[in-house]
């Protein structure tokens, strides 16, 4: 574990364990580290050695390494609650370059009643990110889940069109110039590669995609607009949902719908990482950008994490990877221990494998352009009489 993973002035020393009595305290000398840190993961996993010595690349954050490889970020999810936890925030500041709101950007939180907007939680996350020089991925404006009942009850095309336009433009417009990417539409495909049944597809058919993306583009022309889904890299390049998503996105882009990127969630079972490279290549070929947006892997085997993450490294227009949480106990799959840090915020072997392996990869990509709009702080309160804050 790197001594820079946590800031000494924020945290007391944290013990690192590998499910054994052997521990290492933050800040110990390299020679005293557990033998796991002396393994050359690049040699173990790929059968080759980098010209950059292992000792010279162990003490770097995965985000810094990713940026050196031409990527925009290596991120994680958070919300105001997790950011208020000193240990959690310190790890994000040290090791991650981007935060995605886990729940505070979803419809049931931001507009629980029609026209009554609540942005307290999302304001807190965006302000924290800007203060700490982190990028933000917006998540998510149009999704069939965590959807208020008043939206689900709509049966009129005209009404639902207006509701989508109002919701998307209000949320995305509020943070214009401050959020790098938005998951405009989330989880809209079924496992057969067609449209999932939802109020959006039932009332509007696939046209709800155009309505949402056009509203998003108008609200923030600088943001990169994504369509995001799961089981798109997990099950292989021939899986119907993967090929269906790629086909639809190509068609929509050709029709002028302003889709900038495809997000692959990458909630992987143990051993599924081998499916990621080929499946991700298909998705990335369908849009100008792509990213892995919610990665977690059952049991967090080092080889699985390296294989999955390196798939993004190897694709020029894959701009970043987001893991869905910092430490295992806070994951939505907590019993599967799927993340890069354990309950004590100690880096697990998968993190060390990523740092050691990717730290030795030669940069060969051109970084995607960053937003040109200044990232000014978001106002912490909303003045509209029809807007309330659930947090502030």
Determine whether 206 is an active site residue. no
Q: Dig out the tokens for 391 from the structure.
A: 């947090």
String of DSSP letters for 302-343: HHHHHHHHHHHHTSTTEEEEEES-SBGGGSTTGGG--SSB-T
pTM score: 0.81
Q: How does pLDDT run across 202-253, given as a tens digit for each residue?
A: 999 999 999 999 999 999 999 999 999 999 999 999 999 999 999 999 999 9
Task: Report yes or no: 198 and 188 within 8 Å, Cβ to Cβ.
Answer: yes
Cα–Cα nearest to 245, from 197, 279, 218, 275: 279
User: What per-residue string of b and e applies to 124-161 under the rule 16 or more CB within 10 Å gives b?
Assistant: bbbbbbbeeebbbbbbbbbbbeebbeebeebeeeeebb
Quick one: pLDDT at residue 360?
81
Task: Report yes or no: 203 and 191 within 8 Å, Cβ to Cβ.
Answer: no
**Sign of dihedral through CA atoms 252, 254, 258, 264?**
positive
Chain centroid, CA 125 distance in Å: 14
Determine whether 187 is an active site residue. yes
- pLDDT per residue, tens digit, the chain (392 aa), is 333 333 333 333 333 333 332 223 233 333 334 444 455 555 555 554 554 444 443 347 999 999 999 999 999 999 999 999 999 999 999 999 999 999 999 999 999 999 999 999 999 999 999 999 999 999 999 999 999 999 999 999 999 999 999 999 999 999 999 999 999 999 999 999 999 999 999 999 999 999 999 999 999 999 999 999 999 999 999 999 999 999 999 999 999 999 999 999 999 999 999 999 999 999 999 999 999 999 999 999 999 999 999 999 999 999 999 999 999 999 999 999 999 999 999 999 999 999 999 988 877 644 444 444 444 444 433 323 333 333 23
The span from the CA of 236 to the CA of 280, in Å, is 9
**Catalytic residue (one of 171, 187, 214, 234):** 187
The span from the CA of 260 to the CA of 24, in Å, is 44
With a CB cutoff of 8 Å and minimum separation 6, the contacts of 17 are 23, 342, 344, 346
The span from the CA of 196 to the CA of 217, in Å, is 24
The span from the CA of 108 to the CA of 312, in Å, is 32
Q: How does pLDDT run across 323-364, given as a tens digit for each residue?
A: 999 999 999 999 999 999 999 999 999 999 999 999 888 776
User: What per-residue string of b and e applies to 218-252 under the rule 16 or more CB within 10 Å gives b?
Assistant: ebbeebbbbbbbbbbbbbebebebbbbbbebbeeb
The span from the CA of 210 to the CA of 206, in Å, is 8
């Amino acid at each position: 574990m790197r001594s820079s993973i946590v800031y000494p002035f924020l945290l007391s020393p944290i013990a690192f364990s590998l499910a054994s009595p052997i521990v290492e305290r933050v800040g110990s000398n390299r020679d005293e580290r557990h033998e796991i840190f002396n393994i050359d993961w690049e040699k173990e996993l790929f059968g080759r050695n980098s010209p950059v010595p292992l000792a010279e690349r162990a003490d770097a954050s995965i985000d810094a390494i990713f940026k050196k490889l031409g990527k925009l970020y290596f991120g994680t999810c958070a919300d105001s609650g997790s950011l208020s936890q000193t240990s959690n925030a310190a790890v994000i500041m040290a090791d991650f370059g981007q935060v995605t709101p886990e729940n505070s950007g979803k419809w049931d939180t931001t507009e629980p009643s029609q026209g009554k907007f609540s942005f307290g939680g999302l304001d807190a996350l965006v302000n924290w990110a800007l203060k700490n020089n982190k990028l933000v991925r917006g998540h998510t404006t149009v999704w069939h889940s965590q959807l208020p009942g008043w939206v689900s009850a709509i049966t009129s095309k005209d009404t639902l069109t207006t509701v989508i336009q109002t919701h998307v433009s209000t949320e995305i417009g509020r943070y214009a110039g401050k959020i790098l990417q938005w998951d405009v539409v989330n989880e809209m495909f079924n496992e057969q590669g067609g449209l999932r049944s939802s109020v959006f597809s039932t009332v509007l058919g696939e046209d709800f995609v155009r309505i949402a993306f056009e509203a998003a583009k108008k609200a923030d022309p600088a943001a990169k607009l994504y369509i995001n889904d799961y089981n798109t890299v997990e099950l292989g390049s021939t899986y119907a949902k993967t090929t269906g998503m790629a086909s639809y996105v190509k068609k929509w882009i050709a029709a002028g719908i302003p889709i900038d990127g495809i997000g692959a969630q990458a909630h992987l079972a143990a051993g599924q990482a081998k499916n990621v490279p080929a499946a991700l290549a298909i998705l990335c070929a369908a849009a100008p950008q792509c990213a892995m947006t919610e990665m977690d892997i059952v049991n967090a085997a080092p080889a699985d994490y390296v294989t999955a993450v390196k798939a993004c490294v190897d694709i020029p227009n894959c701009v970043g990877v987001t893991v869905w949480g910092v430490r295992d106990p806070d994951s939505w799959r907590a019993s599967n221990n799927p993340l890069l840090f354990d309950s004590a915020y100690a880096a697990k072997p998968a993190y060390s494998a990523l740092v050691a392996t990717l730290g030795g990869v030669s940069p060969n990509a051109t970084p995607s352009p960053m937003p040109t709009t200044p990232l000014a702080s978001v106002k912490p309160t909303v003045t509209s009489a029809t807007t309330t804050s659930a947090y502030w």
